[in-house]
Structure 1
Amino acid sequence: MLVLALTACSGGSDEAGEGGSGSGEPLKIGTLLPVTGSLAQLGPPEIAGVDLALDEINAAGGLFGADVTVVHTDSSDAQNASVSTASAQELITEGVSAVIGAASSSVTLNVIDDITGAGIVQVSPANTATSLSGYSDFYYRTAPPDTVQGDVLGNLIVSDGAANVGILVFNDSYGTSLRDVVSGVVEESGGTIVYGADGQEFDPAEQNFATIVGDAIAAQPDAIAILAFTDQTPLIVRELVAQGWDMSKTYFVDGNLQNFGTDGDTGFPADTLTGAQGTLPGAYPSEEFQGRMLEIDPELEEFSYGPEAYDATLLVALAALKGGASDGETIQANMAAVSGATDGTECVGWEECSALVEDGEEIAYQAVSGVGPFNDANDPSSAFIGVYEFGEENTYEFSRSEEGVVPES
């Protein structure tokens, strides 16, 4: 199907608040999500979240009389920056008005100037680096910055009785940003970071963790947090076990929280991770929403950031509808409003929310991921952080959620 090229002059901020009265061109979005690389486990649920939102929109008649279309591309990771660079250029050439992605904060930092500089709205479902808060008027995220997850993780470690904390952190903007927040929480509570301070990061390409783990354990921590991605984490876990560390005193984060299991390259012997815990931004998705995602991708094994990707896609479409046009400037001008930043009637899903917009009403989209309206830095103003615990099969189960407010930048 031929998709008409989108223009950057079919609305703009002058169209804000038109209640969907315009007759915009078809909306084309792009995705920049990890199909390969160290965050590849996040790609399937994020892509399913986008596709689920598009199915919902198009089943209800689409937008401006046409289906919303998508161009999927691979972001890979920061160690393969040429992949995201090429994908971003492809999406710009394709004439998309919005990009959902990237998952990695470092990948976003590699391409954000090109994407937003082209007048394209970028919405990440998973970026958490604090340096991205308020980076560009055209950049948004439906995951909270590390100030929220770091606060919950730091308090979780302290509440479990740890006073001396070790942090195994890679030298990546995601890892160091989260480390800084966790360290602040621990130290404010009277605790000490005995390993993993500034200057003690490891190279993201590191493959031998014997010395790194040995140095961390030698510092006599009460708990160890692993702030890395999934390609390094199995190596770290195996080294911790080999050096006699009590894995129940280990903490994971969104970048490496996965169902490791007992088989394959990422699996461990049964009972290896029993009692270990991890944190993951976002409200725990309901069984109904998980079922809808499984209809999109029956092979999904995890749902991390799928709700955030779904929310990002619906917010982009609702912003276009509100402004009456599908270009990037119009979408940017209406993103905050449809998220509920200007109050409005609470609504759920495309059909309910779009009907209100078409009636000229202000809306407050109720995010499946539980995030609050965008603040002045284009971050969600509040968010839930899930706490999970590993069982005997090295898979994690939901324990509880904690809601946090995102500090104003």
Structure 2
Amino acid sequence: MNRRMTAAKGVALAAALSLGLAACGSSEEPTDESTADEMAEGESSADPLVIGTTLPVTGTLSFLGPPEIAGVGLAVSDINEAGGVLGNEVTVEWGDSGDNTDATVANSTATDHISQGVDAVIGAASSSVTLGVVDTYVEAGIMMISPANTSAELSDYSEFYTRTAPPDTVQGAALGSLILEGGHTDVAMIVLNDSYGTGLRDHTQSAIEAGGGTVVYGASGEGQEFPPGETNFGSQVSAALATDPDALVLIAFEETTAAVNELVAQGWDFDGTTYFTDGNLSNGYEFDEGTLAGVQGTLPGAQADDDLRERLNTWYSENEGGELDGYSYSAESYDATILAALAAVRGGDTSGQAIADNIKAVSGAEGGTEVTTFAEGVEALEAGDEINYTGPSGTGPLNEMNDPSSAFIGIYEYGDDNQYEYVRQIEGTTAE
């Protein structure tokens, strides 16, 4: 069965459902003494942990859905293989986030999750989508952990929201430095007009200007952004190229195809002059051979190693019946799920509140024993140790803003086959 398609439920439940239903899905409050005894005996009075997903099955970010879904699925498989959480297997309620062009998709999924008694949600991928539904989850006491949100607007948003991807301050600094390293000083930016696009543009622009460069088109305050879902880039490309840039940054989602086709039509030379970001770094484009050769891009997160890729592919093939053609945010999705489970173990309770109260600590905010797997984390917690979970994404402990304190940004480059390959990575820190 294709698990993703269980997300397509419509909006029939949306109008009348009370957020009070969240209380029905919460776990029982444990007593300190009984929790310790139950963990030692492998039993618990806590309800089974229910993970929900609000990840892009449809919409302009749907290319990110498969690796993120695989990350969650593989993590849950590993958790259950290690004995589950507090003596119970973890279950998943799969949901679609859609994109920022249709808010009803994510809203319907949130309604479903509340009725399903979900304790923690992995998602959304789009910062704009998250901003549209996060209050619903917060009011319901459901912990929301995004593997891909980068908007600075979400830093310190709520105790019930955190992420395993760094904010735009880190990626923007890396992208700006990459552009300047290429010898470029006059940069045009074609930018999606949403919180992700403008936020990343602003931080990239700051880095470019700090290094002596100038944004000659698409700069903050100029009003030259394009709306979500745009398909006609004729006038925007003409205006951008009229400024005679020596580099061009395209911050977009699925709109990238139309923008690239227009740039080709107007004679732009992509090789060594063009930069993508995490929102459009994809191997799924169907351009003429060599179109994207020399295009570079940035992607938050450490490069997935061969073992993780193999395991992700195996899970996806067995459960979704397909093959992965990219791994963007797969490691972050895996780590988000593991952190939620470890937080529940530390708190002795699977409720959203317990996860919120303990997730910083298991990420390493209190120091402790470094662990790299769920099983190692449970063993250390049962021994009475604090833990520092260090997963495949390589992010540092969560800080007081509920952001990773450090993270890697990968640098990638397209070849003649229009497929991108890993070049190197840099590590950045986030501001408190």
Q: What range describes the TM-score normalised by the shorter chain of this pair?
A: over 0.9
Which residue among 71, 91, 96 is the counterpart of 2:93?
Answer: 71
Alignment of 1:329 onto 2:353: yes
Q: Secondary structure at the match of 1:107?
A: helix
Alignment of 1:275 onto 2:294: yes
Structure 2 distance, partners of 1:255, 1:243, is: 23
Quick one: structure 1 residues 39 and 13, their matched pair in 2 at CA, closer, same or farther if it must change by over 3 Å?
farther
Which residue among 147, 170, 184 is the counterpart of 1:162?
Answer: 184
8 Å contact from structure 2 (residues 27, 349) kept in 1: no
Structure 1 distance, partners of 2:37, 2:399, is: 22
Partner of 1:352: 376
Alignment of 1:217 onto 2:241: yes
Structure 2 distance, partners of 1:294, 1:341, is: 32
8 Å contact from structure 1 (residues 17, 334) kept in 2: no
Quick one: structure 1 residues 17 and 177, their matched pair in 2 at CA, closer, same or farther if it must change by over 3 Å?
farther
Matched residue type, 1:233: T
Quick one: structure 1 residues 376 and 19, their matched pair in 2 at CA, closer, same or farther if it must change by over 3 Å?
farther
List gaps (5 residues or longer) in structure 1: 261-265
Q: Secondary structure at the match of 1:38?
A: coil
Structure 2 distance, partners of 1:154, 1:17, is: 50
User: Over residues 185-205 of structure 1, what are the superposed CA-to-partner deviations in whole Å (9 max), with x where a residue is unaligned?
Assistant: 111111111000141101112
8 Å contact from structure 2 (residues 51, 118) kept in 1: yes
Once the two structures are TM-superposed, the CA of residue 11 in structure 1 deviates from its matched residue by 4.7
Partner of 1:393: 417
Once the two structures are TM-superposed, the CA of residue 64 in structure 1 deviates from its matched residue by 2.0
Higher relative contact order (Cα pairs below 8 Å, separated by 6+ residues): 1
Structure 1 distance, partners of 2:194, 2:235, is: 20
Structure 1 distance, partners of 2:59, 2:286, is: 18
Which residue among 171, 177, 186 is the counterpart of 2:199?
Answer: 177
Quick one: structure 1 residues 102 and 69, their matched pair in 2 at CA, closer, same or farther if it must change by over 3 Å?
same
Q: Secondary structure at the match of 1:213?
A: helix
Partner of 1:55: 77
Structure 1 distance, partners of 2:282, 2:33, is: 45
User: Number of residues paired by the alignment?
Assistant: 399
User: Over residues 316-360 of structure 1, what are the superposed CA-to-partner deviations in whole Å (9 max), with x where a residue is unaligned?
Assistant: 000000111111111111000000000000011111111111111
Quick one: structure 1 residues 237 and 13, their matched pair in 2 at CA, closer, same or farther if it must change by over 3 Å?
farther
Q: Please show how residues 133-172 of structure 1 align to structure 2 within 5 Å.
A: 133-172=155-194
Matched residue type, 1:80: D
Percentage of identical aligned residues:
52
Quick one: structure 1 residues 18 and 239, their matched pair in 2 at CA, closer, same or farther if it must change by over 3 Å?
farther
8 Å contact from structure 2 (residues 100, 228) kept in 1: no
8 Å contact from structure 1 (residues 34, 74) kept in 2: yes
Quick one: structure 1 residues 387 and 60, their matched pair in 2 at CA, closer, same or farther if it must change by over 3 Å?
same
Q: When the two structures are superposed, what TM-score results if normalisation uses the length of structure 1? A: 0.94
Q: Secondary structure at the match of 1:122?
A: strand
Which residue among 57, 60, 71 is the counterpart of 1:38?
Answer: 60
Partner of 1:7: 26
Q: Secondary structure at the match of 1:297?
A: helix
Q: Secondary structure at the match of 1:74?
A: coil
Partner of 2:270: 247
Structure 2 distance, partners of 1:88, 1:15, is: 33
8 Å contact from structure 1 (residues 11, 327) kept in 2: no
Partner of 1:263: none
Alignment of 1:285 onto 2:304: yes
Matched residue type, 2:308: F
Larger mean CA deviation between 290-299 and 57-66 belongs to 57-66
8 Å contact from structure 1 (residues 32, 72) kept in 2: yes
Alignment of 1:238 onto 2:257: no
Which residue among 100, 114, 123 is the counterpart of 1:92?
Answer: 114
User: Over residues 75-131 of structure 1, what are the superposed CA-to-partner deviations in whole Å (9 max), with x where a residue is unaligned?
Assistant: 000101100001001101111110000000000001000001111100000000010
Matched residue type, 2:188: G
Larger mean CA deviation between 173-182 and 344-353 belongs to 344-353
Q: Please show how residues 199-210 of structure 1 align to structure 2 within 5 Å.
A: 199-210=223-234
Structure 2 distance, partners of 1:145, 1:16, is: 36
Once the two structures are TM-superposed, the CA of residue 8 in structure 1 deviates from its matched residue by 5.4
Quick one: structure 1 residues 19 and 348, their matched pair in 2 at CA, closer, same or farther if it must change by over 3 Å?
farther
Which residue among 138, 142, 145 is the counterpart of 1:123?
Answer: 145
8 Å contact from structure 2 (residues 293, 415) kept in 1: yes
Quick one: structure 1 residues 188 and 9, their matched pair in 2 at CA, closer, same or farther if it must change by over 3 Å?
same
Structure 2 distance, partners of 1:36, 1:7, is: 29
Matched residue type, 1:271: G
Q: When the two structures are superposed, what TM-score results if normalisation uses the length of structure 2? A: 0.89
RMSD: 2.0
Q: Secondary structure at the match of 2:346?
A: helix
Structure 1 distance, partners of 2:345, 2:133, is: 27
Structure 1 distance, partners of 2:123, 2:363, is: 18
Partner of 2:407: 383
User: Over residues 177-227 of structure 1, what are the superposed CA-to-partner deviations in whole Å (9 max), with x where a residue is unaligned?
Assistant: 000001101111111110001411011122111110010000111100000
Matched residue type, 2:268: W
Q: Secondary structure at the match of 2:103?
A: helix
Structure 2 distance, partners of 1:96, 1:399, is: 39
User: Over residues 365-409 of structure 1, what are the superposed CA-to-partner deviations in whole Å (9 max), with x where a residue is unaligned?
Assistant: 01210100000010000000000000000000000000000111x
Matched residue type, 2:242: A
User: Over residues 9-59 of structure 1, what are the superposed CA-to-partner deviations in whole Å (9 max), with x where a residue is unaligned?
Assistant: 525999999995664221111000000000001111101100101100111
Matched residue type, 2:260: V
Quick one: structure 1 residues 23 and 250, their matched pair in 2 at CA, closer, same or farther if it must change by over 3 Å?
same
Partner of 1:193: 215
Once the two structures are TM-superposed, the CA of residue 62 in structure 1 deviates from its matched residue by 1.2
Matched residue type, 2:248: I
8 Å contact from structure 1 (residues 315, 335) kept in 2: yes
Once the two structures are TM-superposed, the CA of residue 6 in structure 1 deviates from its matched residue by 3.4
List gaps (5 residues or longer) in structure 2: 1-22, 318-322
